Amino acid sequence: MSGQGPEQRGELELVRRLRALLAQPSAGRGVSAGSPAVEFGDDMAALPTGDGGLLWTVDMLMDHVDFDSAVHDWAAIGRKAMAVNLSDCAAMAVVPVAALCAVSLSNQLTMQNAVDLVRGAHEYGLRFGCPIVGGDTNSWNAPTVVSISIAARILPDRPPVRRAGARPGDRIWLSGQVGGSLLGRHMTFEPRVELALQISRDLQPHAMIDVSDGVALDLGRLLEASSCGAVVEAVALDAAIHADALRLAQQDGRPAREHALQDGEDFELIVVLSPDVPPQACQRLGLLPLGQIVAELGLMLDDAGCRAPIPVRGWEHFR
Amino acid sequence: MSGQGPEQRGELELVRRLRALLAQPSAGRGVSAGSPAVEFGDDMAALPTGDGGLLWTVDMLMDHVDFDSAVHDWAAIGRKAMAVNLSDCAAMAVVPVAALCAVSLSNQLTMQNAVDLVRGAHEYGLRFGCPIVGGDTNSWNAPTVVSISIAARILPDRPPVRRAGARPGDRIWLSGQVGGSLLGRHMTFEPRVELALQISRDLQPHAMIDVSDGVALDLGRLLEASSCGAVVEAVALDAAIHADALRLAQQDGRPAREHALQDGEDFELIVVLSPDVPPQACQRLGLLPLGQIVAELGLMLDDAGCRAPIPVRGWEHFR
């Protein structure tokens, strides 16, 4: 530790520093001219292929953080490890094709536990055409870690949907209700891969992101990437509060709106569309309105004309 | 735990079970016809691209197992996490192009530690044209885990070198001396990427693998994939014993040959070549002879005509 007092911590700050480190000009050497344009820090990164058509991503899950092996069975844990990656594919509107799976197994696991973990991931991946094709197996005297990487194919006529394309005047939609996933949905959610492809084909979205760390935090990331702000409408937000958020609010006394804005692991999509897209086309796909993009930076809640800032707060590692 | 007595454990058995699980016909759905033919369990897996030209791999490293954060600085740890993946690229004779890095950082780390870890990996990758282009950052109250995935391009006129191509009569070579890497080389080794590409272009190798878990274990993997056996010549083995293996033998009283055969993390290449390749061509590339491939299964040591089995033993997880 340096002698300069408490350092600034947090995953957001760490990612900012890593972006500065990794975005050096030399970092582009391995990327061919045919690679799709995706900024560092988006849900997936571009892979340099001859035809410029692949993205890839990785997500790491840890026992007692992202799952609890005392409660959840190993196949369900493997399923989640695959599903969070598939959700990244949904966020970019690309088609998952194959996965790698690396594990550090607690030495307390049985062989059957280990096989169940990989089977749960593999079988769920297969439902999306995304088998596990390789990986790395390790063990140690510490809690289990599982890390899955997915490669995904870009749709023939549609570029990947980035975080950075939102513009003032655009409308913000949600693919489903949010909040309270901790009551169980964080283990059983269905990544919105098919829906995302349909949105990409039919509605030409300007930007998308999946809700992994909470609507406020993830919408905040999209706004930062797009250099604009947003206003969430209170009436729309209230209609997007999941029943689990209401139940959780009753249990812990925190407002349900706070759960809807700050709870992570909903894995619904935040979809930013041109104002020209007819609302009926969105509603036909089950999208719920949330608010709109504005030029002024920051995230605001508009409650019957009265505006208050929404804290960009949610699940953040490394605090 | 089942009531059927102690179950069979070990990484080799786990990988066998996973191969059976993942090799189901449906597992090939995501792989396009243009993908290179690489069996499950090789050093890297094929990525389905339009031009069939990418492989990918993943390796996960854990504190107190693969490195010791009380001893090694974080940049050196990051370097190793990148280097073990680059060594997989060497084993297949393919050109690394980009990496993803996922971490679970111990909450005891400082921000600078975390940045140093990624910087160490990134800067070492850049030396091979393989920058980190994305990843996932997490933290927890447990030892640090770092997992790097690399994608690599296949040489235009040379298929990737698999484990499965060894044939009776082939000669076995090593890219350098082995044993005793624990004395320090396991953190500082140079993956043999350039050498591997040269071997692939000039010598048309039948099979290769890198020594991550020990010559006996990794040669054993190559033999299993190739359905044949091998005879290691004692004179050749003695000439391939690293000075560190001799030092370690003096310290722990175990034979230096045992260190050369069973110590992991040398990351030299085991290269299987046609007997038609002139020995001078091998020696020009610094290759050391080790023995030859035979039809009869198993791994034997030939000491002046007297043959004894070599136990296929080395570093194995999940025992």
The reply to whether A40 and A86 lie within a common domain is: yes
**Per residue in B202-258, pLDDT tens?**
999 999 999 999 999 999 999 999 999 999 999 999 999 999 999 999 999 999 999
The reply to whether B54 and B180 lie within a common domain is: no
**Per residue in A197-239, pLDDT tens?**
999 999 999 999 999 999 999 999 999 999 999 999 999 999 9
Q: What is the side-by-side order of every strand in the sheet holding B299-303?
A: B207-210, B269-273, B171-174, B288-294, B229-233, B299-303, B306-309
Among B153, B184, B206, where does a domain finish?
A: B153
The reply to whether B189 and B143 lie within a common domain is: no
**Per residue in B161-183, pLDDT tens?**
999 999 999 999 999 999 999 99
Taking the Cβ of residue A198 and every Cβ of chain B, the question of whether any pair is shorter than 8 Å is answered with no
Least confident of A47-56, A234-243, B251-260, B265-274: A47-56
How would residue B12 be classed by pLDDT, with cut points 50, 70 and 90? confident
Instruction: Note whether residue B255 is domain-resident.
Output: yes
Taking the Cβ of residue B44 and every Cβ of chain A, the question of whether any pair is shorter than 8 Å is answered with yes
CATH number at residue A217: 3.90.650.10
Least confident of A34-38, A211-215, B246-250, B307-311: A34-38
∠ CA B99-B100-B101, rounded to 5°:
120
* CA closest to B154 among chain A residues: A49
Cβ neighbours of residue A286 closer than 8 Å, sequence gap 6 or more? A175, A176, A195
The reply to whether B241 and B293 lie within a common domain is: yes
Please answer yes or no on whether B153 and A48 come within 8 Å at the CB atom.
yes
Instruction: Note whether residue B165 is domain-resident.
Output: no
Instruction: Note whether residue A4 is domain-resident.
Output: no
Q: If you average pLDDT over residues B255-272, what whole number do you get?
A: 96
User: Which residue has better confidence, A48 or A231?
Assistant: A231
The reply to whether A224 and A177 lie within a common domain is: yes
CATH number at residue B103: 3.30.1330.10
Task: Note the pLDDT of residue B277.
Answer: 98
Give the closest of A46, A118, A140 to B65, CB-based. A140
- Supply the range of the domain harboring residue B177: 171-309
Q: How far is B246 from chain A (nearest CA, A)?
A: 28
> pTM of the prediction?
0.92
The reply to whether A184 and A101 lie within a common domain is: no
Instruction: Note whether residue A258 is domain-resident.
Output: yes
User: In percent, how much of chain A has pLDDT > 70?
Assistant: 92
Least confident of A51-55, A189-193, B282-286: A51-55
Residue A104: closest CA among A149, A151, A60:
A60
The reply to whether B183 and B299 lie within a common domain is: yes
- State CA A205 to chain mean position distance: 16
The reply to whether B196 and B290 lie within a common domain is: yes
Task: Note the pLDDT of residue B310.
Answer: 95
Among A125, A153, A181, where does a domain finish?
A: A153
> Best of B2, B65, B118, B145 to disrupt the A interface by mutation (most A CBs within 10 Å)?
B145
The reply to whether B142 and B188 lie within a common domain is: no
Among B153, B188, B203, where does a domain finish?
A: B153
Task: Note the pLDDT of residue B99.
Answer: 96
Give the closest of A97, A104, A126 to B60, CB-based. A104
Task: Note the pLDDT of residue A50.
Answer: 64
**What is the average pLDDT score of chain A?**
91
Angle subtended by helix axes B74-92 and B111-126, to nearest 10? 30
* CA closest to A152 among chain B residues: B48
Least confident of A59-73, B19-33, B40-54, B90-104: B19-33
The reply to whether A300 and A200 lie within a common domain is: yes
- The total number of structural domains in chain A stands at 2
Instruction: Note whether residue B277 is domain-resident.
Output: yes
Residue B84: closest CA among B219, B211, B272:
B211
Taking the Cβ of residue B98 and every Cβ of chain A, the question of whether any pair is shorter than 8 Å is answered with yes
Task: Note the pLDDT of residue B51.
Answer: 66
Taking the Cβ of residue A106 and every Cβ of chain B, the question of whether any pair is shorter than 8 Å is answered with no
Which residues in chain A are contacts of B105 at CB distance < 8 A? 317-318
Question: Contact, A106 vs A93, CB < 8 A?
Answer: no
The reply to whether A213 and A137 lie within a common domain is: no
The reply to whether A177 and A296 lie within a common domain is: yes
Give the closest of A8, A51, A119 to B50, CB-based. A51
Please answer yes or no on whether A17 and B111 come within 8 Å at the CB atom.
yes
Q: How far is B167 from chain A (nearest CA, A)?
A: 25
Instruction: Note whether residue A267 is domain-resident.
Output: yes
Residues 19-38 of B with CB under 8 A from A: 21-22, 26-32
Give the closest of B53, B62, B130 to A30, CB-based. B130
Taking the Cβ of residue B229 and every Cβ of chain A, the question of whether any pair is shorter than 8 Å is answered with no
How would residue B35 be classed by pLDDT, with cut points 50, 70 and 90? low
ipTM, two decimals: 0.91
Please answer yes or no on whether B138 and A62 come within 8 Å at the CB atom.
yes
Instruction: Note whether residue A6 is domain-resident.
Output: no
The overall longest dimension of chain B from CA atoms, in Å, is 59
Task: Note the pLDDT of residue A47.
Answer: 87
Instruction: Note whether residue A272 is domain-resident.
Output: yes
